[in-house]
């Protein structure tokens, strides 16, 4: 079980770094708000993963150092999710004032949650069973679930257009994958918090958690990779129209 968790975690990190680099390159080329928001999100989340992984590998025990690094990692997560909220607004509903307002409210919620966890008495890990962390998790999950809803909604709209020959089924599928990624991340955050409340410190040794969390994280990373940078062979599975006849 531990071996699987290690392999899945390494695969997740590798995919996340790959997607991060590609998104940064795209953002530098286009200089557009949606691409910049997604690149910022991905880079900050990867940074947080690296910090948390380093803390486990190095087995940091000094309370002051541990607290400082956990607060820093959580701050990267918070800023990353704020960037994601901007991306969801700019990609799906750029002209809707209510969407801008929703993104702003969720962003404020996330940042207040991060500050609250940072000022609490307990070590503010992402599964800490505290009211502050519950508030932080629900704010982050709100952004992910919003993104998932918009992805599924937009996928259905594009699929109807593709059926009329007015859209690309491959792009519709990629948007669906991004929606699945967002839903998965939101559910993972909520379920991890729930397990933290149910098990307390024993969560770190909970056998199902050693399997489920890395497995779900890997699935989410694969969905994100295929949503933004699918291999040509994968994309052809959903391409519009029959293949051209030879000769």
Domains of the chain, earliest start first: 2-232 (1.20.1070)
Contact 35, 26 (CB under 8 A): yes
Q: Is the pLDDT of residue 224 over 60?
A: yes
Mean pLDDT of 74-97: 95
Enumerate residues 6+ apart whose C-beta is below 8 A from 162. 168, 169, 172, 240
Whole-number CA gyration radius for the chain: 19
Q: Looking at per-residue confidence, does 170 or 105 come out higher?
A: 105
What whole-number percentage of the chain has pLDDT above 70? 91
Q: Is the pLDDT of residue 240 over 60?
A: no
Predicted pLDDT at 127: 78
Q: Looking at per-residue confidence, does 42 or 208 come out higher?
A: 42
Predicted pLDDT at 105: 97
Q: Is the pLDDT of residue 245 over 50?
A: no
What is the rounded CA–CA span in Å between residue 225 and residue 38? 13
- Confidence band, pLDDT 50/70/90 cuts, at residue 206: low
- DSSP reduced 3-state for 119: helix
Half-sphere exposure of 42 (CA within 13 A, CB side): 29
Q: Which two tokens stand for residue 25?
A: 């390159």
126-160 confidence digits (pLDDT tens):
778 889 999 999 999 999 999 999 999 999 988 88
Inter-axis angle of helices 63-92 and 131-163, nearest 10: 30
């Amino acid at each position: 079980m531990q071996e699987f968790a290690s392999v899945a975690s390494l695969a997740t990190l590798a995919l996340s770094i790959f997607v991060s680099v590609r998104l940064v390159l795209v953002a530098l080329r286009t200089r557009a708000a949606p691409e910049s928001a997604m690149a910022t999100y991905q880079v900050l989340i990867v940074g947080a993963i690296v910090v948390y992984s380093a803390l486990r590998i190095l087995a940091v025990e000094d309370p002051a150092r541990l607290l400082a690094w956990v607060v820093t990692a959580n701050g990267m997560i918070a800023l990353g999710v704020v960037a994601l909220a901007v991306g969801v607004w700019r990609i799906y509903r750029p002209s809707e004032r209510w969407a801008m307002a929703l993104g702003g409210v969720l962003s404020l919620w996330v940042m207040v949650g991060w500050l609250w966890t940072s000022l609490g008495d307990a070590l503010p890990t992402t599964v800490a069973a505290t009211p502050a962390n519950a508030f932080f998790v629900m704010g982050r999950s709100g952004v992910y679930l919003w993104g998932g809803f918009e992805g599924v909604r937009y996928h259905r709209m594009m699929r109807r257009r593709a059926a009329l020959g007015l859209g690309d089924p491959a792009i519709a599928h990629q948007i669906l994958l991004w929606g699945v990624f967002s839903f998965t991340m939101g559910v993972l955050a909520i379920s991890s918090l729930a397990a933290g409340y149910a098990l307390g410190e024993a969560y770190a040794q909970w056998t199902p958690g050693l399997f489920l969390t890395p497995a779900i994280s890997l699935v989410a990373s694969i969905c994100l990779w295929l949503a933004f940078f699918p291999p040509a062979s994968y994309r052809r599975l959903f391409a519009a129209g029959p293949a051209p006849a030879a000769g």
